[in-house]
Amino acid sequence: MGQLPRGGPMIFDVGRAMEAQRRLAEMVVEESLGGEPRRVCGVDVAYSRGRGFGAAVVLSYPDLEVLEVETAEADVGVPYMPTLLAFREMPVLFRLLRKVKAKPDVYMVDGHGVYHPRRCGLATHFGVVFNVPTIGVAKGRLSVKGSEIIGDAIVVGGKALGRIFGRVYVSVGNRVTLEDCVRIVSGCMRGHRVPEPLFLAHKISKEVAMLGE
pLDDT digits (tens, 9 = 90+) for 163-184: 999 999 999 999 999 999 999 9
66-75 sheet: strands from edge to edge: 66-75, 51-60, 39-48, 106-110, 134-138, 168-174, 159-165, 153-156, 147-150
Q: Is the dihedral of CA 16, 55, 75, 138 positive or negative?
A: positive
> What is the DSSP secondary-structure string of 77-107?
-S---TT-HHHHHHHHHHHHHHH--S--SEE
Q: Which residues have a Cβ under 8 Å from the Cβ of 97 and sit 6 or more positions away?
A: 56, 130, 132
- Average pLDDT of the chain is 94
Position 3 confidence tier, pLDDT thresholds 50, 70, 90: very low
pLDDT above 90: residue 4: no
DSSP class of residue 68 equals E
CB 171 within 8 A of CB 121: yes
Q: Range with the lowest mean pLDDT among 3-17, 28-42, 136-150?
A: 3-17
pLDDT above 60: residue 5: no
Domains and CATH numbers, the chain: 2-211 (3.30.2170.10)
CB 176 within 8 A of CB 34: no
Angle at 83 between CA 59 and CA 109, to 5 degrees: 5
More confident residue, 9 or 200: 200
pLDDT of residue 11: 74
Residue 64 to residues 68, 82, 151, 189: CA-CA distances in angstroms?
Answer: 11, 31, 29, 10
Give me the mean pLDDT over the 120-144 stretch: 98
- Please tell me whether the overall predicted TM-score, pTM, comes out greater than 0.85 for this model: yes
> What is the DSSP secondary-structure string of 109-168?
EEB-SS-STTS--HHHHHHHHHT--EEEEESS----TTEEEETTEEEETTEEEEEEETTE
